[in-house]
Amino acid sequence: DAMGTTPASEVEDKVFTVTPRIETTPSSGWVGTMVSVYGSGFDSGETNIKLIYDGGTVKTGIAADVTGSWQSSFSVPASAKGSHDIRAYGAVTSESDLAPSSFSVSPGIKIAPVSGYLGGSIHVGDSLWVSGVGFEANEAGIKVTFDGSLNISGLVADANGSWLDRLEVPPCIRGEHTIKASGDITRVSDIVDAIVIVSPKIEMNPSSGAIGSDITVHGNGFAANQIITISYDGAKVSNGTATDAKGNFTTSFKIPKGKSGDHTVTVTDATGSAFSSSLNLESTPPPIPNPVSPEAG
């Protein structure tokens, strides 16, 4: 309505109808992306508002304020590559009352350790779960590469564009390594690479022994073509062996004199790669020697 010198009663009223709407941000991303949703134009204090993603409920129990506005969020569920509808309705407002928003899913890959914990060290030979999300529905010919070399092939995505397989870290040097994936439809360039950081590691055989025993040390994940040094409780016991082009080496040393119990064996190279492990020096004394000569009696 409007008025001035002219009274409001002489001015014809005009009606403005508020329609409900939702706005979402971001509008694209991976499966698992947190999407914020802002609703407006709902009924004052409306309750039982639900968020719907591709027909499935992803959030419930939302309530509007006195102006009919509300805010919420949800994590994008498993879904294939492309655009997906986001809708909302409540106790008064129906789905047909408002236009849907949309979220565009992009393909991606995720890496997680088969055992251990997220953020733990990764070594050559470790098993990792590699999973893909947001690929085309039922996409075939999916393969995974590690530093450009084929590691897994023949995978097929499910109806939501998701897949999962186990990857074993191949022999490689210390540092960052790239995992890529692609399929019959999804290209390598469509996906953000996954990066794993490989750390050095040693294994000793045997893991315990007596003074003077030979201990074989096998190492991997060190720098390429570097001389390694082995220390026993901080004292150098072996050096001169070099790693190969993939950071592997095998050498041995003799257990020096010392007290029984656990001792620290550390392997280092010139680039700063290092790994320490425990070696147990046994405490059982050797048997009393029998005289060889003269004969008893």
The model carries a pTM of 0.80
Q: Report yes or no: 49 and 70 within 8 Å, Cβ to Cβ.
A: yes
Q: State yes or no: cis peptide before 200, omega within 30 of 0.
A: no
Rounded-to-integer distance, Cα 39 and Cα 52, Å: 13
Mean per-residue pLDDT pooled into runs of 10, the chain (297 residues)? 94 94 95 96 96 96 96 96 96 94 95 84 94 95 96 95 96 96 95 94 93 94 96 91 96 92 94 93 84 83
Strand partners, 48: none
Return the exposure string of 150-174: e unless at least 16 CB atoms fall within 10 Å of the residue's CB, then b: ebbeebebeebbbbebebebeebbb
